[in-house]
Structure 1
Amino acid sequence: MADDKLDHMQAQVETLENGRSSSLGLDAPHEAGSVQLLDSHHVVLVPTPSRDPKDPLNLPGWRKNVAVLIIGLYSAIAVLATGGMGAIVTQVRAMYPPEDQIRVADLLTYPTLFMGIGNLLAMPLCVAIGRRPVFLLSLLVLVASGIWCACSSSLSSHIAGRNILSLAAGQSEALVAFMVQEMHFLHQRGRAATWNAAIQGAGTGAMFVATTYLVPAWGMRWWYGVITIIDGVLLLAAFLLVPETMYDRILEDEGNPSNETKVARVTTKTNLTLDPDRYGARTWRHDLKIFHFTPRWSETWIFYKVAGQSFFIPSIVWLLLLNGAFLGVYVFHSSTFAPVLLGPPYLFKFEFLGFVQLAIVVATFIALPLIGYGSDWIIKLMSRMNKGVYQPEYRLLSVILPSIIAVVSCVIYGQTAQHPEKWSWAGIVIPYAAGFLAFMGANTVAITYVVDSWPAEAGPMLLVVAAGRGFISFGLSYAMVPWVEKNEYDGSMRDLAVVCGVFALLGIPCYVFGRKMRVWSQKRFWSPA
């Protein structure tokens, strides 16, 4: 009797994956993302978990947490390897003769470009063959390219090795976010994404501190050596503990309820019994397999097609620009804070620069309750006010605080950098951390909103946001020096503050008309023939 009831619960007429909502009591037949999140006083599990033990949604909590930890540490070490050279650029310059000094800048600027290219190559591949093989391959390439950089004997070889390394590090943006989302239900995605970002931020900050001591003592080659050793350990841990998160989520036809039948929904209070006899048990042998799917190469073309179509959706373009602007703030701060603090009147010692990165660690743990858990709390509150129905636009409310923080941090940083004699060093350090917090908030909102709104097309759209902001960052890194020379710190930061403010205000029409954009995009691009 209990099994029959659970089978009845499993026979959902509609799930988040196929983006339809008519059976959930909603009016729009093609309204992707709108789902019943609350049933009476309980949270409905969206997507609906199957009774398959191999469903990533059915992973035990400890497996999900360990996977998020490994993925977050991978992201941290990827960010360190590609962006951590800014704090030790003086030591890097000392490694090469005067005629190579101009090209040393390529070690700092090219990584963001190649991270974007890495996303363009890897994200379609993860749809064709699965997330796990692409993730493991990325770690393997990080290990190989780290050895290459450590053993490079010329600047050209060093640049080439870092470019390959950056291709693999690019998956720290879109792919890992996709994997984290696929293991969690809708009402958990905000906190899961922020935990991933917090682990990344804390890990990167701690390694930044270590970098300022490791490089002067052991040299640049051992910096790569330590990074490569950590990547090797993460590769082994990922092989053992990070499962495949792609899952063909189809509707079970058990029970086949008629239109008149009221379908019970699986909630957080449902005692869902798994069915290993029918689906097969989740075993270590199964989890350790690298390839779980027959390659679907045709999916790569569809992936790029959907990515191109995404540029016609205003809310996706807005998320790309917002993320690019907030990332620009962080790039500006991270590229300029060292010269300001090393110069008068602050005269920081070089090793103190690493401790500035601890402000990033503090920012990550502030972001967890405010952005992560706060975002999930907001969507439950708004859904309760909307008779239990969740609209993805509720996620956009979480960008209000990061937007205010971004604008204020720009103003304070610009004034402090331009007039250091009038401001404390905290006017550099605190806005630096605040800028990172703002970017983390915009990134979390983008990931959760895209996955919730267009679940079936989320991969290509995450690619647009992640790769697009990487290219924006690359352009900003090249424009940084002439920008500051022309407008000085206060003028440059004022310009960025205006840009961030304008893009943040564009979130208002995206919130108001977001539902219509989702319905229009589904009918225009992805409705079945």
Structure 2
Amino acid sequence: MLYGIIDVKSDAPLAGTELLIKSDSRTDEDVVTPRLKRVAYKGTETILVPQPSDNDLNDPLLWPRWKKEAAFATIFWGNIIFAALPGPMLAPSTFALAGILGVPVTKVSELSGYMLLVVGAIGPIVSVLAQKYGKRPQFLFAATTGTLGTVICIIGSQRYNYNTLMAGRVIQGMGTTAWESLSLSSVGDMLHLHERGLRTAFMVATLTCTPSIVSIIAGVMTQNTGWQTLFVASLPFNVVALLCTIFFLPETQFLRPSPTTASSSDTLPQPTTTSLNEKSTPTVSHIANTPPNLPLIPRQPYTKTLRPISGTTYTSASIPTLLLSIFIHLLNPAVIWILLVSAVLIALYVVSAYITSQIWSVPPYNLNVAQNGYFYTGGFLGGLLATVSGPLCDWTARRMSVLNRGVFEAEFRIPICVLGAVMTGLGWFLFGWVVDHPRPNGYLLGAFCHGLACFGISVPSTAAGLYILDSFPRQATEIFILQMMLKNFMFYGFSTFINKWAAVDGAGAVFRTFGTTSLCLLATCIPMYMLGKVNRRLMSIVHARYKIFGNVA
């Protein structure tokens, strides 16, 4: 075993097992990597994974730094405005809006529930179109519909019309899907393995930390200026995000030749590969057969990158085949794992917002709408602090790679989940105790617990996202689509019953259930760490052998 990871014997390269760091313990007889591109990263010679194109300057991995940063900033901003902002806008005023609109509390929750149902329902369509025609058209469509939905919500809120408001929320949902599901895979398109940790943590934070700050601001605005101003105030931010998408987010998808990454299973002196086990020396072969004097493909002019569609078809598979193949990924145990430790955990955290106003608006707390918003300060701080999980995940992976003679295993991303399990358990169970023992100032401790839970679920979500990008880079888009679909279907499902559940059994029972479920799901990190490499090898064989998998691989 490699630090508890069950190894496999195979002669083929394996995604997620890479020679990442040139080890001093290796000699020229052990490893020859003259053609592999590398950089000096934090004082260590680091091999670039994946390897960028040899001659095409349009490869996103070869974009100048300013272009990568502008594209990432646009994705980050769009993720906040179109994916993170709409859902929790009404959370602090859920209880108050029921009286204003003359509908039950559950109906107010469904304003967010149906929006999120649409987000999940159109996920497969967005995935297929992104695979076939690229991600930029999907981001442009999402930014446009998200802005249009906000305009309709303004009209509905000014008229106090529930049905118009619902229509606007549904259209906002159409503007959420691409941002929530394609952002992480876009980061993988532009950045090398050693660069992804912090950026992935930021993306996860937009879905865990940002909703909290939105709820804080929304509560204060609702209390002081009225709930209708929420949509009016968000419109300029929508417009800015739409303009940034048009001008600063080119297509990140790229048809790169077969990757020449440093697979640890490529050994010398044989031109083929040998098995990697505890006693063998992981090495990388010389990249042979590289055509000499490749013609340099110049970078496209800026105006050409503004086209809505690149004109490239990124796969020859038909749309029905791609649509069906999304769900084939559910046969991959790693996909089931990320759905459990990321999608479900985030969903449980987010749906707690449906009942927090119900808890704090009644005696002995009697919080007004603004004070209900301030409650989310704990979640905001917890999510903000959780961004350290990205660099920490990178550090542990690099450290374990050094101890493993420079060879990176994707499973090195998983040990950090122990921290997530501790914080998640503390957060949910302590939160349940707080609401079961009400005191006038109990919401302060409740906010702290909410923050612990937010920190806890952010850590495994970051680790799992990085694991998928490292292990299944070609299937990442479809896997993140499945993750997004499950989250949003859960959001909708809980919106139909969680308020009644909390009223009948008590919010403490709800939070204890969330805590128990979270710990059970996080326990799956143990078999995933031990058997992950076996599963990666098995999936690589399946992808190569069966046509339906080959179409998506």
TM-score > 0.5 by shorter chain: yes
Structure 1 counterpart of 2:493, one-letter code? G
Preserved contact between residue 70 and residue 237 of structure 1 (Cα < 8 Å): yes
Give me the whole-angstrom Cα distance separating, in 1, the residues matched to 2:294 and 2:228: 50
Assess, with a 3 A threshold, how the Cα gap between structure 1 residues 496 and 91 changes in structure 2: closer, same or farther: closer
Give me the whole-angstrom Cα distance separating, in 2, the residues matched to 1:283 and 1:473: 43
Give me the whole-angstrom Cα distance separating, in 2, the residues matched to 1:516 and 1:111: 39
Partner of 2:31: none
Partner of 1:337: 356
Preserved contact between residue 95 and residue 357 of structure 2 (Cα < 8 Å): no
Partner of 1:145: 149
Assess, with a 3 A threshold, how the Cα gap between structure 1 residues 201 and 331 changes in structure 2: closer, same or farther: closer
Partner of 2:137: 133
Equivalent of 1:292 in 292, 310, 320: 310
Partner of 1:81: 86
Equivalent of 1:379 in 380, 383, 397: 397
Give me the whole-angstrom Cα distance separating, in 1, the residues matched to 2:214 and 2:429: 29
Q: How does 1:224-303 map to 2 (within 5 A)?
A: 224-251=231-258, 263=285, 278-295=296-313, 298-303=317-322
Partner of 1:16: none
Structure 2 counterpart of 1:409, one-letter code? G
Give me the whole-angstrom Cα distance separating, in 1, the residues matched to 2:168 and 2:19: 49
Partner of 2:68: 64
Give me the whole-angstrom Cα distance separating, in 2, the residues matched to 1:202 and 1:39: 37
Give me the whole-angstrom Cα distance separating, in 2, the residues matched to 1:95 and 1:150: 16
Assess, with a 3 A threshold, how the Cα gap between structure 1 residues 522 and 305 changes in structure 2: closer, same or farther: farther
- Say if 2:506 is the partner of 1:503: no
Equivalent of 2:406 in 348, 365, 388: 388
1:394-421 deviations in Å (ceiling 9; x for gaps): 1122222112211111101101011123
Partner of 2:470: 452
Secondary structure of the 1:421 match is coil
- Say if 2:29 is the partner of 1:46: no
Assess, with a 3 A threshold, how the Cα gap between structure 1 residues 300 and 438 changes in structure 2: closer, same or farther: farther
Equivalent of 1:315 in 334, 354, 359: 334
Structure 2 counterpart of 1:454, one-letter code? F
Assess, with a 3 A threshold, how the Cα gap between structure 1 residues 409 and 101 changes in structure 2: closer, same or farther: closer
The runs of 5 or more residues in structure 2 that have no matched partner are 1-7, 24-43, 261-267, 273-283, 288-292, 548-553
Assess, with a 3 A threshold, how the Cα gap between structure 1 residues 463 and 193 changes in structure 2: closer, same or farther: same
Give me the whole-angstrom Cα distance separating, in 2, the residues matched to 1:207 and 1:276: 51
TM-score relative to the length of structure 1: 0.85
Partner of 1:13: none
- Say if 2:46 is the partner of 1:36: no
Give me the whole-angstrom Cα distance separating, in 2, the residues matched to 1:94 and 1:32: 55
Deviation at 1:203, TM superposition (A): 4.8
Equivalent of 2:124 in 104, 111, 120: 120
1:445-465 deviations in Å (ceiling 9; x for gaps): 222111211112222112122
Deviation at 1:205, TM superposition (A): 4.0
- Percent identical pairs in the alignment equals 20
Richer in helix (by share): 1
1:228-275 deviations in Å (ceiling 9; x for gaps): 22111111112111121101111499xxx996597568xxxxxxxxx9
Give me the whole-angstrom Cα distance separating, in 2, the residues matched to 1:505 and 1:283: 50
Question: Number of residues paired by the alignment?
Answer: 491
215-224 or 450-459: bigger deviation: 215-224
Preserved contact between residue 375 and residue 443 of structure 2 (Cα < 8 Å): no
Partner of 2:346: 327
Preserved contact between residue 216 and residue 377 of structure 2 (Cα < 8 Å): yes
Give me the whole-angstrom Cα distance separating, in 2, the residues matched to 1:423 and 1:264: 66
The runs of 5 or more residues in structure 1 that have no matched partner are 1-24, 266-274
Give me the whole-angstrom Cα distance separating, in 2, the residues matched to 1:307 and 1:387: 37
Preserved contact between residue 348 and residue 514 of structure 2 (Cα < 8 Å): yes
1:424-482 deviations in Å (ceiling 9; x for gaps): 43321012122222232232222211121111222211212221222223223323134
